[in-house]
């Protein structure tokens, strides 16, 4: 029986009053009712459906009974009009419809309707077109799919909708000096070209006058909602012929260039995107202060992928490497030693990211210092110098005698042990992926990702090892199994980030995926990705992926709590296979859901077998199950394999809520703390509270209070 504490009526009523007051605090939008529709013309307006009720309907997107708001548009001319919520400011799954001018707008008066349109921001935003007659009034309804509510940016106008930015044309470039400037390429045209990618994407312009002679840095690294490119030109129109500098993806998908400016000289700065558009912050000025102390290695660019052939259906690959030192000290470069580049492969399919291959780590040979990192390549000293790039092709990086077993590498300390330089068949030691794991017949719609993960001795000892990974989305030829780029290189992040940042499509994030850094005190880091999906049956699929970035202590177990009465089924586990003589076991972890948690545990402890199948550096394991309970936030435990203190680390993540709905905080007792936990969740508009009882908003408060007063037996 679930314990229930008694609460005095006055205290209970006070808590109820707090909750009701919270509901009142979320006022309805002024255009909540059709009769109060806001009059708009061509342009862009911001709005919200949070707190709105329903008084209309539409024939798409399951929005007939969902919250809606209204706009009244008078066509200034006879034209084809586009209405869209495609914007980085739109944060939920929208539905838009156009109706004749008589309220309420219903399916009977509907002229056009759209739920999901493909745009650079999300596959869940909406765009429609309709034929408007000059002087005619139209109602525009903004709602959401099913019970979704949120904030949006609505653009309307002929053709693409909305108005172009004032600096859309090079001749109208915004005059700036040193500083930071907010901008957008939304609704802009493409009228410039550069040597970087993105020449055909919408662009905007700035005219910069150098206040002094010296190095100037122009960057979108601070903020951007899309994959930017940035270039500097001597005059209009901006072309590759008058280009001074150009960059794409200096800092993940954002960009930065540095150039030598002459005092009083004017320069044109062009900001564009890679087949997308959005908002950004452009920062222009002196070079930033020195970065982290010590050497800092990054896999700046994956410059190619070599396919060495197959052995019994297993392909052998290697990744090329443009390697940068963005620190303030030279990076050691030791033959058959530091730095070492591990190589991995992943498949993103049906909403889940799995690691499908790994390879040994390519160790260093000799270094050639060159430019290309977006920084000044400094002279003097040995190794990879500050600001410099070293380039190796994919074929060279697949040389088997320099491929080190992961078992001789401590990713946290950066120490790389000795190993025999032996050779073997086409797949030996290389990045191995089964051809069956890359079949788009078996995995229809799948996307594939490759990743490089550096380990460097002095980089690790300087504490700069958290940005050593980079990944690229690739296409796989289904005949030759050659891999070719389907994106740029996403520098500084492990491939687990792709699940969130490209989960719905390339450059279209999956908002249901969360990323959580989990640090082991005085040791390395794991990254955890979580995703909860409500299934057609009404049950919930809980997905967890754990990637070991650089912890030598390694993962031993994962435990997800579940309350009494919570039903769990279809548990699952996935790991990746070692090969080519690596000593590590491949035994799957044991799964147990019989008690108060769902747990996965390595079948042997460190004391029993030092080579047991622990979650070691550069690998990602997956864990999943189905449950009848909706998600809430709980404490998930990651056990550690090698001895040390602590023996486990705990982090917050989605877990199944208690079967007792009144026990909102899941501590096994119905008490006043559940009300405050509900209130915090409701204010944050988390679905578990905001949609409690099935009706979003204030009704959810009363639904919870009814359950809370009833308690649980």
Q: Residue 66 sits in a domain of what CATH number?
A: 2.60.120.380
- Which residue from 415, 448, 417, 451 is spatially nearest to 434, judged by alpha carbons? 448
26 vs 41: CA distance, rounded Å: 28
Specify the higher pLDDT residue, 39 or 684.
Answer: 39
Residue carrying structure tokens 């020449």: 199
Q: Are 602 and 613 in contact (CB under 8 A)?
A: yes
Same domain (yes/no): 323, 449: yes
161 vs 130: CA distance, rounded Å: 11
Q: Are 629 and 542 in contact (CB under 8 A)?
A: no
- SS3 for 28? coil
Same domain (yes/no): 493, 555: no
Same domain (yes/no): 193, 225: yes
3-state SS string for 501-545: HCCCECCECCCCEEEEEEECCCCCEEEEEEEEEECCCCCEEEEEE
Check whether 2 has a pLDDT greater than 50: no
Check whether 9 has a pLDDT greater than 50: no
HSE (side-chain half, CA atoms, 13 Å) at 465: 32
Return the sign of the alpha-carbon dihedral for residues 623, 621, 646, 584.
positive
Per residue in 302-329, pLDDT tens? 999 999 999 999 999 999 999 999 999 9
Cα separations in angstroms, 409 against 340, 435, 453: 9, 28, 12
Does the model's pTM come out above 0.75? no
User: Is 645 a domain residue?
Assistant: yes
Average pLDDT over residues 239-246: 91
User: Is 538 a domain residue?
Assistant: yes
Q: Are 573 and 587 in contact (CB under 8 A)?
A: no
Check whether 20 has a pLDDT greater than 90: no
Q: What is the pLDDT of residue 13?
A: 47
Same domain (yes/no): 469, 486: yes
Same domain (yes/no): 428, 567: no
Q: What is the pLDDT of residue 120?
A: 45
Residue 31's pLDDT band, with cuts at 50, 70 and 90, is very high
283 vs 566: CA distance, rounded Å: 51
Q: What is the pLDDT of residue 64?
A: 62
258 vs 182: CA distance, rounded Å: 19
Q: What is the pLDDT of residue 115?
A: 84
Cα separations in angstroms, 531 against 2, 353, 355, 499, 500: 29, 11, 16, 9, 9
Residue 4's pLDDT band, with cuts at 50, 70 and 90, is very low
In sequence order, the 6+-apart residues with CB closer than 8 A to the CB of 482 are 305, 307, 476
User: Is 164 a domain residue?
Assistant: no
Least confident of 9-23, 95-109, 356-370, 437-451: 9-23
The rounded percent of the chain whose pLDDT value lies above 70 is: 91
Least confident of 105-119, 236-250, 293-307, 517-531: 105-119
Q: Which of 504, 531, 565 is the last residue of a domain?
A: 504
Q: Are 326 and 376 in contact (CB under 8 A)?
A: no
Strands (E) across 414-510 are located at 415-416, 431-434, 447-455, 469-476, 483-491
Structure tokens belonging to residue 407: 């078992």
Average pLDDT over residues 16-42: 72
Check whether 192 has a pLDDT greater than 90: no
Cα separations in angstroms, 118 against 86, 114, 122, 272, 449: 9, 11, 7, 19, 22
Residue carrying structure tokens 């309307």: 156
Same domain (yes/no): 12, 65: no
Same domain (yes/no): 47, 119: yes
Check whether 23 has a pLDDT greater than 60: no
Q: Are 70 and 104 in contact (CB under 8 A)?
A: no
Same domain (yes/no): 350, 308: yes
Q: Which of 262, 285, 308 is the last residue of a domain?
A: 285
Per DSSP, the residues of 325-381 read: E-SSSPBP--TTSSSEEEEEEEEEETTEEEEEEE--EEPP-----BS-SSS----SS
Same domain (yes/no): 703, 648: no
User: Is 626 a domain residue?
Assistant: yes
User: Is 217 a domain residue?
Assistant: yes
Q: What is the pLDDT of residue 27?
A: 64
Q: Are 461 and 350 in contact (CB under 8 A)?
A: no
- Which residue from 545, 697, 548 is spatially nearest to 621, judged by alpha carbons? 545
Average pLDDT over residues 493-501: 92
User: Is 517 a domain residue?
Assistant: yes
Per-residue b or e along 390-420, where b marks 16 or more CB atoms closer than 10 Å to that residue's CB:
bebebeebbbbebbbbbbbbbbbbbbbeebe
Same domain (yes/no): 568, 527: yes
Q: Are 618 and 358 in contact (CB under 8 A)?
A: yes
Least confident of 118-127, 181-190, 629-638: 118-127
Specify the higher pLDDT residue, 663 or 394.
Answer: 394
**Cis peptide bond upstream of 233, omega within 30:** no
Q: Write down how long the chain is.
A: 713
512 vs 93: CA distance, rounded Å: 12
User: Is 163 a domain residue?
Assistant: no
Mean pLDDT of the chain: 87
Specify the higher pLDDT residue, 42 or 12.
Answer: 42
Check whether 11 has a pLDDT greater than 60: no
Average pLDDT over residues 23-38: 78
Specify the higher pLDDT residue, 64 or 157.
Answer: 157
Residue 196's pLDDT band, with cuts at 50, 70 and 90, is confident
Least confident of 87-101, 537-551, 571-585, 657-671: 657-671
Average pLDDT over residues 557-583: 93
Check whether 468 has a pLDDT greater than 70: yes
Q: Which of 231, 250, 285 is the last residue of a domain?
A: 285
Same domain (yes/no): 645, 525: yes
Radius of gyration of the chain (CA): 28
Cβ neighbours, 10 Å, residue 425: 16
Average pLDDT over residues 603-626: 98
713 vs 92: CA distance, rounded Å: 37
Check whether 22 has a pLDDT greater than 60: no
The rounded percent of the chain whose pLDDT value lies above 90 is: 53
Domain total of the chain: 5
Give the range of the structural domain holding residue 680, as residue numbers without chain letter. 1-27+668-713
Q: What is the pLDDT of residue 119?
A: 57
Same domain (yes/no): 393, 482: yes
**Cis peptide bond upstream of 646, omega within 30:** yes
User: Is 253 a domain residue?
Assistant: yes
**Cis peptide bond upstream of 339, omega within 30:** yes
HSE (side-chain half, CA atoms, 13 Å) at 374: 26
Phi first, then psi, for residue 75 (nearest 5°) are -65, 125
């Amino acid at each position: 029986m679930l314990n229930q504490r008694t609460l005095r009526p006055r205290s209970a009523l006070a808590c109820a009053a707090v909750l009701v007051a919270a509901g009142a605090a979320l006022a309805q939008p002024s255009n909540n009712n059709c009769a109060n529709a806001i009059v708009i013309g061509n342009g862009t307006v911001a709005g919200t459906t949070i707190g709105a009720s329903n008084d209309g309907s539409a024939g798409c997107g399951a929005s007939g009974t969902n919250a809606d708001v209204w706009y009244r548009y008078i066509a200034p001319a006879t034209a084809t009009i586009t209405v869209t919520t495609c914007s980085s400011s739109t944060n939920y799954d929208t539905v838009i419809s156009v109706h004749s001018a008589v309220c309420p707008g219903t399916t009977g008066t509907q002229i056009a309707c759209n739920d999901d349109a493909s745009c650079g921001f999300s596959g869940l935003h909406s765009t429609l077109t309709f034929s408007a007659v000059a002087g005619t009034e139209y109602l525009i309804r903004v709602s959401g799919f099913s019970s979704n509510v949120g904030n949006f940016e609505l653009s309307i106008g002929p053709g693409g909708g909305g108005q172009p930015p004032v600096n859309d044309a090079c001749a109208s470039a915004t005059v700036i000096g040193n500083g930071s400037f907010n901008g957008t390429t939304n609704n802009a045209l493409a009228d410039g070209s550069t040597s970087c990618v993105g020449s055909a994407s919408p662009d905007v312009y700035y005219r910069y006058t150098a206040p002094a002679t010296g190095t100037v840095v122009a960057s979108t690294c601070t903020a951007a909602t899309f994959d930017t490119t940035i270039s500097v030109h001597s005059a209009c129109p901006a072309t590759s012929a008058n280009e001074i500098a150009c960059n794409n993806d200096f800092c993940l998908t954002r960009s930065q260039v540095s150039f030598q400016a002459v005092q009083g000289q004017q320069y044109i700065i062009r900001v564009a995107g890679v087949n997308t558009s959005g908002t950004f912050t452009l920062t222009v000025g002196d070079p930033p202060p020195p970065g982290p102390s010590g050497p800092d290695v990054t896999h700046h660019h994956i410059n190619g992928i070599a396919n060495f052939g197959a052995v019994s259906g297993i392909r052998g690959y290697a990744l090329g490497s443009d390697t940068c030192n963005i620190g303030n000290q030279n990076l050691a470069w030791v033959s058959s030693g530091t730095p070492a580049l591990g190589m991995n492969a992943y498949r993103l399919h049906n909403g889940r990211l799995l690691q499908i291959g790994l390879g040994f780590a390519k160790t260093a040979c000799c270094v050639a210092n060159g430019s290309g990192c977006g920084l000044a390549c400094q002279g003097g000293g040995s190794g990879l110098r500050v600001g410099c790039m070293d380039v190796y092709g994919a074929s060279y990086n697949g040389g088997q005698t320099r491929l080190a077993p992961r078992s001789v590498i401590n990713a946290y300390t950066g120490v790389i042990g000795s190993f025999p330089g032996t050779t073997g068949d086409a797949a030996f030691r290389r990045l191995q992926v089964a051809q069956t794991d890359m079949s788009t017949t078996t995995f229809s719609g799948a996307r594939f990702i490759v990743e490089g993960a550096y380990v460097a001795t002095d980089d690790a000892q300087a504490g700069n090892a958290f940005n050593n990974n980079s990944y690229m989305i690739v296409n796989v030829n289904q005949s030759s199994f050659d891999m070719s780029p389907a994106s740029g290189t996403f520098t500084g992040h492990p491939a687990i980030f792709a699940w969130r940042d490209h989960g719905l499509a390339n450059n279209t994030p999956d908002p249901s995926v969360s990323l959580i850094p989990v640090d082991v005190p005085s040791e390395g880091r794991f990254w955890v990705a979580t995703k909860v999906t409500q299934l057609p049956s009404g049950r919930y699929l809980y997905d967890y992926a754990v990637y070991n970035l650089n912890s030598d202590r390694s993962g031993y177990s994962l435990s997800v709590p579940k309350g009494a009465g919570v039903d769990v089924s279809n548990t699952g586990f996935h790991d990746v296979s070692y090969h080519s003589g690596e000593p590590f076991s491949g035994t799957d972890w044991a799964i147990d859901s019989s008690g108060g948690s769902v747990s996965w545990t390595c079948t042997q402890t460190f004391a029993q077998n030092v080579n047991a199948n622990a979650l070691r550096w550069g690998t990602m394991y997956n864990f999943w199950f189905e449950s009848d309970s909706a998600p809430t936030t709980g404490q998930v435990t990651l056990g550690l394999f090698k001895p040390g203190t602590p023996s486990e680390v705990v982090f917050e993540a989605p877990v199944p809520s208690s079967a007792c709905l009144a026990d909102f905080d899941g501590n096994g007792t119905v008490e006043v703390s559940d009300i405050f936990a509900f209130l915090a969740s409701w204010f944050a508009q988390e679905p578990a509270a905001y949609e409690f009882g099935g009706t979003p908003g204030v009704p959810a408060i009363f639904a919870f209070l009814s359950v809370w007063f009833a308690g649980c037996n």
